[in-house]
Structure 1
Amino acid sequence: MADRIRAFDWPATPLGPLEGWSPQLKAMVELLLRSPLPMTLLWGPEGILIYNSGYAVISGARHPGNLGRSALDAWPEAADFNRHVIAAGRRGESLSFKDQTLVLYRNGVREEVWMDLNYTPVLDAHQQPVGILAILTENTTRVQEEQRRQRAEASLREANERIQLALDAGAVIGTWMWDVPRDHFTGDVRFARSFSIPPEELVEGRALSQVVQSIHPDDRPHVEALIGDALRQGGPYRAEYRVRQLDGSWLWLEANGHVELDAQGQALRFPGVLLNIDARKKAEMRQAFVLSLTDRLRTLSEPRQLLAAATEMLGRKLGVHRVSYAEADLTAGETALLASWSEGPDTPGDGLETLAPGFTARLEQGLTVVHPGGGGQEPGAVLAVPLLREQRLRAVLALSQPGPRVWRPEDISLAEEVATRTWEAAERARAEAALRELNVTLEQQIRERTQERNRLWELSLSPFLVTDLEGHWLSASPTWNQALGWTEKELLGRTSLWLSHPEDEARLREVTAQVAGGQKVQGFENRLRHRDGSYRWFSWWAMPSEGLVYCVARDVTAEKQRQAELERTQEQLRQAQKMEAVGQLTGGIAHDFNNLLAGIVGALNLLDRRLKAGKLDNVQRYIEAATSSAMRAASLTHRLLAFARRQSLDVKPTDINARVVSMEELLRRTLGENIVLRMALEPRLWPALTDSNQFENALLNLVINARDAMPDGGKLTVATSNTHLDEAAARAFDELAPGDYVLLSVSDTGQGMPPEVIARAFEPFFTTKPIGQGTGLGLSMIYGFVRQSGGHVRIESQVGQGTTLSLLLPRHVAEVAASEEPLPGEPPRARLGETILVVEDDASVRMVVMDVLADLGYQAVEAGDAQQALPYIEGRERLDLLITDVGLPGMNGRQLAEIARQRRPGLKVLFATGYAEGAAVRGGFLEPGMEMITKPFSLEALAERVRAMLPFP
């Protein structure tokens, strides 16, 4: 031993010569030198270091100088830590540290290292501490790799958040990211262009206050207030505002973002996307302006008042200097000013005067006339909108202002609509005024009323119609020819049924009967056939009077097309969401089943090799591995069926308290020592209708989830109670009927769940646990099982305050009989002559069942489907039991059982199934003498079930 110690080239130490060492020291040094683990001995009250080659590697350049030195002197940067360790060792205490962070200078430079440290006191013959044995494992490389992985995952999550925001928003024209603590605002090139900011400045980052300067001054206070609210509250942010463009115009944008808060509620990051809503906002503002104009005109009755109000509203809306309205006759070269509005002092030559005789007009696209300025006047911009009736110019709406101006398409379109609406309103006002003046003579009243009626019908954009009470068309306005292509001669004398779409005829007859009975009709919609064979949608208003029906229709074809397009888009979105859920579900199933199948196939391959080689060692181990993987696959299948509400439930009256108490010891072992389990069970609890086995699985899952939510320990409470839901309370639960329920709640004091996690908690394969620590099927299985049982699941949680998950199960009104658990033992064997028919379409399953029954002494016959089984059923041979799969090809197992019982009354039937949609609840599927066993099942369970169905006399 002395030679091996000298191999370290020890200097003189205060330990004295080797031959003077105590037996304890010599034994510990011998242990050190033989151990492959990095170990050191801190000897005596000063902690003198004696270590092996593994510890020498950890010491770095400080070896061999540290040999024989006090740990306090050898590692001065960790002196306080080592002093604590030596003091604890002198008291006889053991210490252990996992991933302990230390700052060392072992190679002359500062190093941050991570180590697993274990300290055990060394006792002398009198059981007094004389030293400390330390075992060290350095984890620096592993921890650094883990930190790099976490940083990479954080970067990936951040990128995914930005991508997801963009995908969710659609029509994205830019993205941003604001580092709130540093006030560092960055955006992509499209964002910079939208805000008229040089792209390189936003790539490098700006303060937010510099970015918002591009927002319209009228919108900025509101936007800043919304940003302030988002920073305080966190979560989503949305704002609409205008942004200055390089050409001086303003662009409407919609900003969508999300503020992330830290644990103290302070804003950390604020990512988001920009949407271009300019067209929509301008359309909305135009529509609002048109509605406002319509409301204003509705209050006026004098034509000049109508025109004056319209010119003022249009001028202020477009920001022009002057707007004029005049009647015009180009053939005579005359104009008559009807109304005019000007912002500020009137300027000669910049308005309607440009239309005076002697000036040349140029017609562009048949919509607008653009005129130059008057002679000697400062050039100005003029927009003139003509109003044509019967291919003749009747009136002109002129907009003008000094200096150049580019008339944008939306300005021209709005001016055209205002001109048309205003002139029609003025025409109607004139017509109404004229009607009021029809008091001179009867002939004059009739003549003028007819003329005005004709003018209204000719000018109106809406089709007018007069019918008799049977619906025959008596008079139709010319607009019908434009709307449907038919001439007035072709339409008169017919009914709407001649043009109606076949699907609308029944409803049209009903409406015609209502009008004939004296009722008004508003908003009735139907389709009429165009001359070209297509159909147009119309919305009708009809009123009967003096044996006639007066109708006004509105062509809503374009609106219907837009609605249909919207519905198609929504359906595509729903389909995309369904495909996303299917992809998530199948991906999770494939991942888990591939792992399970790998274990089964691998174990069976190894078992095959061993048996072929005649080697029986490890055979049991491979069998157990394959069986374990298969049972885990079966558990996953049951969870999937529970989520889909397609598992076969054995619903019976169940004493919930008794089930909870029977599991108490298992629950305590599952929770561990740092979690306190409290039971709060209602002593007079009602019986519940449920599957007891599925209930126990659900309770165990809830307890495991609660345990994982309390990594530092806490308290878990399992409580039961009786509750009654009235109509109002039941409506709070989806599809739950009013009545009595048994409530089981599992409450923890753990981390809690935010709202977004609660919203997804029951989704399949959704889990907040790290990869490999959960399938995400636990809560979805519980939800499917409880809903299938006729109950409901509720989650109440608050971050940092814990979670309560409650199960509502239907009440059973009778008492529950005590159950007796079967005693384990050898599988029961058959009596002489007992015969069983096995019907199974899967050859492998059928072979296993036949072999099991043969080993137990039963006479067994087999069939691959119902047709092969019928000769056995209809024969005269003895038959004691029918074992059949439910999902057989052609005739299913339930139908086969019905036929078998008709041929052989009282025949016992055992259904074996892995999925039976029609057998979701066994109580509604099985009759007396029938039982069900769920695949996969153990051979012992099959033997027990068969023997129980064939009792000894």
Structure 2
Amino acid sequence: MSKSVWPGCAGETAALVRTRDWSRSPLGPLDSWPDSLRILTDAVLRAPASMVLVWGDDRTLIYNDAYARIAADRHPQAFGGSVRDAWPEAWDFNREVFDACFAGEERVFRDAHFVLARNGLPCDTWFDLYYSPAVDENGQVRGVLSTVIDTTARVFAERERDRKEQHLQQANADLDALRIRLEDANRRLSADMDFLNTLFGQAPSFMAVLAGPDHVYELANESYLRLVQHRQVLGKPIRAALPELAGQGIYELLDRVYRDGEPFHGRNIDVQLDSADGVATERRILDFVYQPLKHGDGQTYAIFVEGVDVTDHALTEERLRVAQEAGEIGTFEWFPATGKLTVSDAYRRIWGFAPGAEITADLLVSHVHAGDRHLTGPDRMANDDNPIGYAEYRITRADSGETRWIARRGQSVRSTVAGERRYLGVAFDITERKRIEEDLLQAQAALHALNQSLERKVVQEEAGRFKAEDALRQAHKMEAVGQLASGVAHDFNNVLQIISSNLQLMELDGVGPQAAGRVASAVAAVERGSKLSSQLLAFARRQPLQPVVTHLGELIGGMESLLLRALGDRIAVEIRQSAGLWNVQVDRNQLENAILNMAINARDAMDGSGSLTIGLSNAPHDGTLDGDHVCLSITDSGCGMPPEILNKIFDPFYTTKAPGKGTGLGMSMVYGFVKQSGGEIKVRSTPGEGTAIAIFLPRAAGQVQAEDAVADSTIPGGVETILVVDDDHAVMATTTEMLAGLGYQVLRAGNGQEALAILGSGLNVDLLFTDISMPGAVDCASLVRQCRALSPRTAIMLASGQLPDASFDEELDLLPKPYNREQLARAVRTQLGAPAAIRPAHAPAPMAIEANGGHRILVVEDDPDTRELACELLAALGHAASGSASAEQALALLKEHEIDILFTDLNLPGLSGIELANRAMASQPALKVILASGDGHSSRIPLASGMAVLPKPYDLPQLELSIAHVATMPGGTLH
């Protein structure tokens, strides 16, 4: 091809090559171009894809028609000019790429983001960029050949697809939430219907619903069916279901109520109903109501029947009336204000008054014997609250003048008139009884003796009452001291937890032999303090127990050798066990401690020589204890105790031993343990005759559970996320460090409100580990309840130095304080279910970096103290860390130094942390970024690969995990 017509291809940019005056350009006249440049130019111009050739030290720009469309407003001015002049805003990026290519390297960028002018406006654009060195005839790199593919449409399409997927996920989540609410509403409705059906079915009054003008049975409860002898009435008209009601007026009543829509109330209605076999009829007396049920238009559609079978009550009244008449018991009603009297016929006959005669109080008093008139109602009105209380007096009958004895008894009742006094009473003739009393005078001596016996019994009852009151006062005192001991133990356990956790962490960090001995001594002191705290909680009945079904004979048999060693050779031990001994449900370890404690007390009381008898027997229910029990008794031949010491045996910190020989919590612990186990403890002691202690434990059903296998010596860890909630900052710090050392991701909250904020933020929380004693508006019980609502899949575990109260779910597991690292690890893994990574006891936590070196890290933080501390932490992890106070200074340092990881605060003065990350990763695609955010995981940052968010405040394990996380990420840029 002749140079005069080169390039020979068509197109706008080819024409520009041919027509441009190149003599003033760094490339020189067109005829002087080397063959390598001409060949590469021809290839670029003919390429169907967008291509660019950058040639020479001045980075002259030659591109084809496809690239001209990408250049948009910059074409054709950019053609033949330098890259720096054409794209000044991307010069930092282009310079680094071209320098690398001129050095013989290749560069590839996927979805590189640029802001380019389109139609005079800046627009976000994305490109796939491929850069390769271009050599001349001598093999020297003289230029860069680049292929540019516009991926903007694809990026927007992917974003739109992601947005639609997120919208769909949100819609599905909303639908799931709606479904859950509907299911919950249906459950509540079903529960309400079940409740109403149960209420209807179990109502003591009989109820039924009769529908339509034919009164068809739609509903009938158990009481109604029992009334009609359980005949099949549902679905039948009443005339077919109960034909025996014909002629009794019931059908007519129902027809009238249905027709008129007015209710009917019946009292003492006699109804004849067939018996179950249909052979006979039975008389029933009923109180009932027929209540019409109406539509909104007032039209009756059914009748509700509700009533009570008063047959027994009515017959009782009838029998009482007959008995009064047959037994000549007269009744009267007296109104003192008017003197009016209303009396029964039997009353008239007792006094000898004619039927129909008017009776007044004055008339009655006039017939009372003069010596007995002080017993009558009118004479007692002024001085007696009940003037017609029981009295016996003589009267003169009005008809015959005969003297008779009558007894009168009555009481005040409410009148229908406000403020009016009204009395009801009865009177009966006791003349014959008075005559018999004369014959009983000979029995006065025996009666007197009986009275003396009764007086002695009263004295005994009074003594028993005083003893019960003393026991009640003692129980109140023990309860008050127990509450105090519980609070002290809880706070003490928190202190022990802090000390124990820090000692364990010191052991993990490694200490010298001398320091190791001191740490071991401190750990032993913590264990002694924990034992003392456990004794306090035992007395307060707040220690966590693990009761299992136990055979006391087997438990004592397993302790026999231990008891023999503890008591010594000079004490004879005898174990007596009754045949067929029942099982109990008890915490075996605590019971063994209690038995050993009592045995040692007995040894001291016997001065090391004597006999100790342990008895096991069944104690069936006899009225003194609630239900069946098993009795464990310990009897010694020691010195015994006087009453003043026996009364204080269970008082905490009370001891008869020399100073330094005991805490005084031993028997207090036994007392609290027995009470917490649902049992009773009784002590009997006489000075010089020894002491007998009897423990009664409730009988338990079920089989005896085998002893748990010995745990292995490995400590389980994991990678799940745990939210630790504790208002004690020291406990929080040590617990968090131990969990992080086990590999877990740890979130922290100082109170219930902070914990709920984290649970409601959408973060995945696998386990909520919270202290029971939680101050503030959200206590522990509320936190547990709301956690189940906000995050049903989150497991829950409690930690405390005492038992939770009855408001807590019994299924929640409790980790007692103080706990060590192994106990914490095993409790957490139990809650999280499937086992995770296991490493031997005392193994150090996994490191985030390899042993052959760390990373080069630039810390960007405007607060100097925070920046210095971050650099110290990174140095402690083995990394090379340097600091920068601003994003602008950091960008300058990135140009001058090789950095592996950019560790920047999200909120910086000037450029923000996200803007800094954007620019840094654009200039150094292989750079990794960690954003430290004071907003925690609530920050919503669209991040590309190579970036991670670390919530503040962070600790050393969390920092280490974040570095390890970004170190394994592929390279990328911010979207």
Query: TM-score normalized by structure 1?
Result: 0.36
Query: TM-score normalized by structure 2?
Result: 0.35
Asked which structure has the greater RCO (Cα within 8 Å, sep 6+), the reply is 2
Larger radius of gyration: 2
